[in-house]
Chains A and B, each alone.
Chain A
């Protein structure tokens, strides 16, 4: 190559072109790889979770017939109408009847793998339809955790032979477990359900919404429409912007030190959880609310003021309704974030083992993300699947919420 100094200007430019275009292509490829990487990680995460979750929505069931007609148990169907029907059945020896039928069909080794409380599911079926007492009932009851593990070629080796044998006879099958969506927490992976956590999440979210939405919207209205330009307003704005970025765990510390000090009886309660999350969600609603209000053109305000409306009337009759879709979008996004939040709720004791679904805002509860966290500690393969299934449920909820937000944004947001 000749000395660059002797080359003409155009030749110099041309000489470098290939190198420059190669750099251009490399740079573009790098960008594409970066985006692709994120996409692949997301896909990998979703695929592993879904693959694990498929097992989590199922349980190992022992299937065998129970012959009630032969008269081993005498119960008057009329007695099953009352509130203590289960006690009636227990008194009539339903547990033994089930155990007997199980050992008849599954053998003693198989019957031993029927958990103690499994007969209650038969009891519920009988209460649902007492006429079943007159015939043969095909029971499908959860197998013990050990047998379920053996069916997955996991856990204790000595049970695997039994599991294979029962499975070959069609007496031990893996079936979709509707109960997973309707039960509370339990100690074994075969018996757990997410309804308790889900209900806890809903109650908590309701408290959060009832507190954060009105406060957030009113604060946004004040700051955007009425606040005088002074030091106080500046402090409020700085507070809100900073609160939006404070780590969530700090809100947990606040909840612990303040809310639990005021209401010591409501430890683990959705009320306290909701209050804590409300403080976290409120800044999000204020910020999105302000943007939505800012987007309403001043001409609307002028028009309302010009016909003699007061400033309060102008805002509440005209500005707020127009800004509402934007505010709602921000609210849903903030609520979705709160729904997935775990750390602050650990701080205020929502990590306790709560077997029965909460029956109010003040009873001990857990929420879905915390439930996931609690189960994640268990190394049992069955719990891994259940945890993944709970994650899929949580992600579905978030997907629906975000989808709703996007729909609202596209459907109602006007461009002025």
Chain B
């Protein structure tokens, strides 16, 4: 049975409640008006009141049930005699259960796993039982809620106030999602990181210089000297904060200056969207571009200038393309900052007989500097969090080198590598991804936080 059925039924109940309440309110209004009175709220609000009471509790239950019932189903199947033959633990047991469940649900045609066929029937039975229970409770809740609300309707019932209060609660709940998300990120990262640090010491992780986790090793034999993340931090900084910024800052800044100060309106009209297109290209496309086109060029150039170690996956290729990706970002931040400098400042300089470039270099840029610096910080935070370009073009080898033609790995690359590899979820190698994620999150958070403050102060300074 599809999970959509209880939801649809609850909504249908709500609609019925809405219609019934509205027509009752209309009738009440007629009666009250005959005596010269008036309803407190419009009939529609009575409708919404009853509708909400019918739908909200039922839907809330359906949501909880849909996440609870798979476990209940599993419990019942495991208590079935047919489940006695299952392996006690491990991947095979999970695979058999998953397949039996898929077969019972009607997906998948053939059984690959031995023993899954015997579990199909218990699964089907259990799923049916719990689906029916869920449906019945949903309907009862919907009906009870609707009836409770319907019986409360009176001419002086403050339906509008109550509906509006519900709306406000909904609005508040929606804005709390942001806090919940932040909290969820922090909690999940903290939890898994703590598990990682119970095996590998934070000191080894943060200051060690050798990175080479083996996801297939015995978890108990893991030692901290393979989990030194310094080469990853260096690779991330070298690619994201040095090479990419060496491309993005001058080009982005000069683009912003040219487009705002020199370009004719026509040129600006065409070039600005062009930069926006550059910002809208998905990172996976940049990654492919870096790997397919830029990396070989960089390698050949490296060989040409006599760098024998130039590799086809290089920090330079990834950094260059990342820099290009960041240009529009730096440019628009610089644009905003320069635009925030009052016109009077520019006039003051021009009236002294300064040329345009002197005005820009000596007055506009110094005045806009806090905003530009904040923009660069945001750009750095974006570059070090960028994943696809480095995954596709930077390489997997953790190296402490300043040679941009060699392959180099980054924090984001290793997060992807550790979580899409072969290791089990509990292995320290897998958990290390969360520790890396934690570091990345904290660093980007700090950069963003400082940058947003600087921007705010900067804006206020000129208002």
A341 at the interface (CB under 8 A from B): yes
The residues of A that contact B216 with a CB separation of less than 8 Å are: none
Q: Is B70 an interface residue (CB 8 A)?
A: yes
B-side contacts of A312, CB under 8 Å: 164, 167-168
Q: Are the CB atoms of B274 and A38 closer together than 8 Å?
A: yes
B378 within 8 A of A: yes
Residues of the B chain whose Cβ atoms lie less than 8 Å from the Cβ of A282 = 177-178, 181
**Does any Cβ of A come within 8 Å of B257's Cβ?**
yes
Q: Which one, B21-29, B149-157, B226-234, B353-361, is touching chain A?
A: B353-361
A210 → chain B, closest Cβ, in Å? Answer: 12
Interface readout for A216-258 with B: 1 if CB under 8 Å, 0 if not?
1111011100110000000110111111011111110110111
Closest residue of chain B to A241 (Cβ to Cβ) is B452
Proximity string of chain B (243-260) to chain A, C-beta cutoff 8 Å, 1 when within and 0 when not: 000000011111101110
Q: How far is the CB of A235 from chain B (nearest CB, A)?
A: 6
Q: Which residue of B lies closest to A257 (CB)?
A: B188
CA distance A337 to B282 in the complex (A): 7
Q: What separation, in Å, do the CA atoms of A223 and B289 have in the docked complex?
A: 41
Query: Does chain A have a CB within 8 A of B148?
Result: no
Q: B388–A246 contact, CB under 8 A? A: no
Q: What are the residues of chain B within 8 A of A346 when measuring CB–CB?
A: 416, 419-420
Cα-based distance from A12 to B277 in the complex (angstroms):
48
- Among B175, B250, B281, B433, point to the contact of A219 (Cβ < 8 A): B175
Interface pair A342/B388, CB less than 8 Å apart: yes
A320 to nearest B CB, angstroms?
12
User: CB within 8 Å of A: which of B279-326?
Assistant: 280-285, 287-289, 291-293, 324
In the assembled complex, A336 has its CB within 8 A of some CB on chain B = yes
Asked whether any CB of chain B lies closer than 8 Å to the CB of A262, the reply is: yes
- Interface check B345, CB cutoff 8 A: no
Q: Is B409 on the interface with A (CB-CB < 8 A)?
A: no
Chain A residue with Cβ nearest B173: A218
Residues of chain A with a CB closer than 8 A to B184's CB: 254, 258
- B258 touches which of A24, A35, A242, A249 (Cβ 8 Å): A35
Residues of chain B with a CB closer than 8 A to A27's CB: 357, 360-361
CA distance A321 to B252 in the complex (A): 37
Q: Quote the shortest CB–CB distance from A279 to chain B (angstroms).
A: 5
Tell me which residues across on chain B come within 8 A of A44, comparing CB atoms: 293
Contacts of A416 in B (CB 8 A): none
Task: Give Cα A251–Cα B433 distance, bound, in whole angstroms.
Answer: 13
- The answer on a CB contact under 8 Å between A384 and B292 is yes
Residue of A nearest to B277 (CB): A42
| B432 at interface by CB-CB < 8 Å | no
Is A265 an interface position by the 8 A CB rule? yes
A249-B177 in contact (CB<8A): no
Cα separation A23 to B358 with both chains bound (whole Å): 9
Please tell me if B278 contacts chain A, counting CB pairs below 8 Å.
Answer: yes
What is the CA–CA distance of A339 and B273 in the complex, to the nearest angstrom? 20
Q: A312-B164, A387-B288 are in contact. Are A343 and B277 (CB under 8 A)?
A: no
Smallest CB–CB gap between B198 and chain A, Å?
A: 17
A48 and B293 form a contact (CB under 8 A): yes
Taking a contact as CB atoms under 8 Å apart, the answer to whether A342 and B449 are in contact is: no
Q: A39, B178: Cβ atoms under 8 Å?
A: no
Q: Which residues of B contact A391 (CB under 8 A)?
A: 285, 288
Find out whether the CB atom of A236 lies under 8 angstroms from the CB atom of B357: no
Interface residues in B361-391 by Cβ distance below 8 A to A read: 361, 378, 381-382, 384-388, 391
Contact with B along A1-30 (1 / 0, CB 8 A): 000000000000100000011011001101
Q: A246 near B385 (CB under 8 angstroms)?
A: yes
CB-based nearest A residue for B168: A226
Q: In this assembly, does B185 line the interface, its C-beta being within 8 Å of a C-beta of chain A? A: yes
Check if B1 is an interface residue, CB within 8 A of chain A: no
Given A21-B355, A23-B357, A343-B387, answer yes or no on A395-B284 (Cβ-Cβ < 8 Å): no
A-side contacts of B293, CB under 8 Å: 44-45, 48
Q: Name the residue of chain B whose CB is nearest to the CB of A349.
A: B420
Which residues of A lie under 8 Å from residue B188 when comparing CB positions?
A: 253-254, 257-258
Q: Is the interface of B mostly helix, strand, loop or mixed?
A: helix
B179 close to A (CB within 8 Å):
yes
Contact A265 B98 (CB under 8 A): yes
Residues from chain B with a CB closer than 8 A to the CB of A223 are 175
Contact B392 A376 (CB under 8 A): yes
Chain A binder among B110-118, B199-207, B440-448: B440-448
Contact A242 B387, beta carbon cutoff 8 Å:
no
Q: Given A41-B324, A242-B445, A394-B282, A253 and B415 touching (CB < 8 A)?
A: yes
Q: Does residue B101 face the partner (Cβ distance < 8 Å to A)? A: yes
**B281 contact set on A, CB distance < 8 A:** 45, 340, 395, 398
B289 touches A247 (CB 8 A): no
- A157 contacts chain B at the CB level, 8 A cutoff: no
User: In the complex, which of the residues A247, A340, A402 contacts B284, with contact meaning CB atoms closer than 8 Å?
Assistant: A340
Asked if B271 is at the interface (CB within 8 A of a chain A CB), the reply is: yes
Cross-chain contact B285 with A49 (CB below 8 angstroms): yes
A137 on the B face (CB < 8 A): no
With CB as the reference atom, state the residue of chain A lying closest to B260: A31
Most buried by B among A39, A250, A384, A402: A250
CB atoms of A369 and B357 under 8 A apart: no
Q: Inside 8 A of B250's CB, which chain A residues have their CB?
A: 34
B394 at interface by CB-CB < 8 Å = no
Fill in one digit per residue for B441-461: 1 if any A CB lies within 8 Å of its CB, else 0: 100110011001000000000
A34 touches B258 (CB 8 A): yes
B258 touches A32 (CB 8 A): yes
| Cβ-defined contact, A246 with B280, below 8 A | no
- Which residues of the other chain, A, contact B353 by a CB distance below 8 angstroms? 13
The B-contacting residues of A in range 372-397, CB under 8 angstroms, are 372-373, 376, 384, 387-388, 391, 394-395
Contact of A218 among B174, B287, B360, B449 (CB under 8 A): B174
Give the shortest distance, in Å, between B304 (CB) and chain A (any CB). 20
B194 sits at the interface (CB 8 A): no
Contact yes or no, B285 A395, CB < 8 A: yes
Taking the nearest CB of chain B, how far is it from the CB of A111, in angstroms? 30
Q: A222 contacts which of B67, B174, B274 (Cβ < 8 Å)?
A: B174
Is the Cβ of A20 less than 8 Å from the Cβ of B358?
A: yes
The smallest beta-carbon distance between B187 and chain A, in angstroms, is 8
- CB pair A28 B262 closer than 8 Å: yes
| B17 touches A (CB below 8 Å) | no
Are the CB atoms of A336 and B175 closer together than 8 Å?
no
Verify if A37 is at the interface (C-beta below 8 Å from B). yes
CB of B132 within 8 Å of the partner chain: no
A215 on the B face (CB < 8 A)? yes
CB of A351 within 8 Å of the partner chain: yes
The 10 A-B pairs with the shortest beta carbon distances in the complex, nearest first, are: A247-B385, A340-B282, A31-B258, A257-B188, A218-B174, A34-B254, A343-B387, A222-B171, A27-B357, A219-B175
- Given A246-B185, A258-B188, A372-B285, 20 more pairs with CB closer than 8 A: A30-B254, A35-B263, A38-B324, A42-B277, A42-B278, A45-B293, A49-B289, A215-B174, A250-B185, A254-B184, A262-B67, A336-B280, A342-B284, A343-B388, A343-B412, A347-B419, A363-B107, A370-B284, A373-B388, A388-B288
Show 11 A/B contacts (Cβ-Cβ < 8 Å), sorted by A.
A38-B251, A38-B278, A49-B285, A222-B168, A223-B175, A239-B178, A341-B283, A342-B283, A346-B420, A351-B420, A369-B282
